[in-house]
């Protein structure tokens, strides 16, 4: 990418965006600048929006990168343009306002404000928090386990889901493990969360030496924790294609089942932002089926 001036004014989706501090190095280990981060999000915006639009988003904000202050934010930040869509969501603490990433302009506006990691729930604002249109399983390796074991467990989980008429789509978490998404016809939170928990417990029962469905870290050594709890309405998951705020820029990257099956090392599924953008340009979105209503299935139990 050519060197950019420190400040640029762009017209995106008919909205004027002033992008600032473009030459700031956010990831010193790789020399990745804010301009490069914004350019990545521009390249994957159409695919990312398929999986984020219409959802109340939360963010990990790190304006100075992983070496600076990092915090988890739910409310719209100061400086957010007034044309960015927001929504009010009920919570235990009372109604709260959230940003909705429903356009490339809204995505870039948040990234410009240092929101490099985007998290979304498994429901849309159109249907509400008690109508989940997808399941997610977060496969997280404990000490002594790794991504390769996550891939083996994912294949077993995929088969159990298929037995129930459900299709699973794999996504490298951008950290240590794997996310599995399942498109649903809208289902109540209790049903979706209960089904996910029951499947995780079944995997634990059938593979007690390799799998745990228990959140306690002390029991995770050598096992893959299947985190089913992210199907609660109040929980969110790192969105597909988002950056992760790590020492080196990582991506929550959709992958194919062929890649999962062939995985022999973490590096087999870990891609740089440029690699992810190039994969999408060359191959399309491996996660496209998740956003296709024709693939949504009914939860039978």
CA 250 to chain centre: 12
Cα separation, 14 vs 82, in Å, equals 14
* pLDDT tens digits along 43-54: 999 999 999 999
pLDDT of residue 2 exceeding 60: no
Encode pLDDT of 122-136 as tens digits: 999 999 999 999 999
Nearest CA to 73 out of 55, 57, 84, 87 is that of 57
Alpha helix locations (H) across the chain? 34-52, 104-112, 147-163, 189-206, 257-262, 273-283
Q: What per-residue confidence (pLDDT) applies to 301? A: 67
The string of pLDDT tens digits covering residues 206-261 is: 999 999 999 888 888 999 999 999 999 999 999 999 999 998 899 999 999 999 99
How far is 266 from 250, CA to CA, in rounded Å? 12
What digits encode the pLDDT tens for the residues 56-82? 999 999 999 999 999 999 999 999 999
Distance, in Å, from the CA atom of 245 to the CA atom of 81, rounded to the nearest integer, reads 24
Dist CA 109 CA 137 (whole Å): 30
- Report whether pLDDT(169) > 80: yes
* Across 21-41, average pLDDT: 95
**CA gap 216, 98 in Å, rounded:** 30
Compute the mean pLDDT over every residue in the chain, rounded to the nearest whole number. 94
Q: Look up the pTM and report it.
A: 0.94
């Amino acid at each position: 990418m050519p060197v950019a001036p420190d400040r640029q004014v762009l017209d995106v989706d008919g909205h004027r965006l002033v992008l600032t501090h473009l030459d700031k190095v956010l990831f010193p280990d790789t020399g990745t600048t804010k301009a490069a981060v914004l350019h990545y999000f521009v390249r994957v915006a159409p695919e990312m929006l398929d999986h984020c639009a219409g959802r109340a988003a939360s963010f990990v904000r790190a304006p100075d990168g992983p070496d600076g202050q990092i915090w988890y934010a739910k409310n719209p930040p100061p400086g957010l343009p007034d044309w960015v869509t927001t929504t009010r969501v009920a919570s235990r603490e009372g109604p709260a306002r959230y940003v909705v990433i429903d356009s490339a302009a809204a995505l870039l506006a948040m990234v410009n404000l240092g929101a490099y990691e985007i998290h979304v729930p498994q429901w849309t604002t159109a249907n509400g928090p008690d109508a989940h249109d997808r399941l997610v399983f977060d496969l997280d390796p404990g000490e002594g386990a790794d991504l390769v074991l996550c891939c083996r467990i994912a294949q077993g989980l995929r088969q159990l889901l298929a037995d129930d008429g459900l299709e699973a789509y794999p996504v490298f978490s951008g950290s240590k493990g794997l996310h599995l998404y399942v498109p649903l016809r809208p289902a109540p939170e209790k049903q979706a969360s209960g089904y996910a928990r029951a499947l995780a417990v079944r995997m634990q029962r059938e593979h007690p030496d390799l799998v745990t469905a228990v959140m306690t870290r002390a029991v995770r050594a050598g096992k893959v924790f299947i985190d089913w709890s992210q199907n609660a309405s109040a929980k969110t998951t790192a969105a597909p294609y988002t950056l992760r705020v790590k020492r080196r820029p990582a991506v929550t990257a959709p992958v194919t089942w062929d890649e999962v099956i062939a995985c022999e090392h973490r590096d087999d599924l870990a891609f740089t932002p440029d690699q992810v953008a190039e994969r999408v340009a060359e191959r399309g979105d491996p996660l496209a089926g998740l956003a296709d209503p024709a693939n949504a299935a009914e939860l039978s139990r």
